[in-house]
Amino acid sequence: MDTSSCFSVVAAAVSVFTVLWTLRDRCGSGYWTAACGALSGALSGALGSCLYLNVPPAVCGTALLTCSFILICVTERRVKLLPAERRAVLVTGCDSGFGHVLAKRLSEMGLTVFAGVLDVNGAGAQRLREPGSENLQVLQLDVTDSSQIETAHRHICAQVADTGLWGLVNNAGVLRCPMNAELHPLTEFGLCMDVNFLAAVKMSQVFLPLLRRSRGRIVNVSSMAAEVPMTMFAAYGASKAALSMFSKVLRLELSVWGVSVVLIQPAGFRTNIFGNSDNITRYRDEILAAVSSVAREDYGEAYISSLPSSLSRMSQQSAEDVSPVVDDMCHALLALHPKPVYTPGRMAWLLPFLQRCCPTAVFDAILMIVPRHTDHEPAGLNRS
């Protein structure tokens, strides 16, 4: 065997070892065995194909080593975390969902956590105060209320004056009731923009002096709906799209200060953002009261009344385990080199990728395959 062939074989062995090493913590024993066999077979086939096509072994080896190096770099960027000691993080929207789980997780890791809640006396706030949460402080924080933001700012300044604030997680958000853009009252658009976008802008502006002091992180929670045009999500998607663009611009502007800005863009997960039966009844009454007589006639009262019920169906179709989102949030806060965008959840990276790459007509056809959230059709579609 000549030198080039030996180099190619060694490169293949290094590549196998690198990939398996990166998978060591993600596979059980059965998956590990299957991964070993599949990967070995794939690389053997690749090498055989290269030889069959008369590709020089040195070229094959160089390509394999390059891929191994890239994989090692990417893996190290995700695995290596900063120490948690002497770091303080403010998380909004901690009454339930992602924020609630994240606040508890960070507290257990040893960070000082300021958990902002909409109702400081609510059930979610009470659970955050349970024994074992000594590092966690619950703060009354309606992110649309400037006076509450200023009060929280003064309290946190007194706590972290010397070291600064390491992280701000703008997690608070509202979905309200998905419906056709024509039927959405302007007040609903305004509420989504206030909570999902403008509140994050205000929070960032108020707390950036503390974040600059520590050269810390801003983590903004957006949504797949910020990139993918999902029917019934005009108000929610528009507000999250504004947040995404704001985050990308802020990332560039704050890089000179050493402050990182990270975007979490999850797919559907089951949280309290979908509301409960009382919310559904209230939304139905509000929509019927606000819709114009022309729209009521064209869409039909049965269709309009069915829209709030889609919240229950969407909740059932969403992933129950929120740990992928919380894992990415923790990585965004503590990784030595956080990614600019995280996409946890099923289809969270695939649909935006297809939206960018596919012709519009093709992608629109793909979206039509997505399961519908209502069994009713607008009445006007059935007229001759």
Catalytic residues: 236
Residues 174/217, Cβ–Cβ less than 8 Å: no
**Which of 94, 131, 135 has the alpha carbon at shortest distance from 113?**
135
- Structure tokens, 369: 């395959």
Please provide the distance, in angstroms rounded to a whole number, between the alpha carbons at the two ends of the chain. Answer: 78
Those residues with Cβ within 8 angstroms of residue 144's Cβ, 6 or more apart along the chain or in another chain: 194, 195, 198, 199
**Which of 107, 110, 105 has the alpha carbon at shortest distance from 84?**
110
Count CA atoms within 13 Å of residue 321 on its CB side: 6
**Which of 370, 335, 376 has the alpha carbon at shortest distance from 167?**
335
Residues 264/325, Cβ–Cβ less than 8 Å: yes
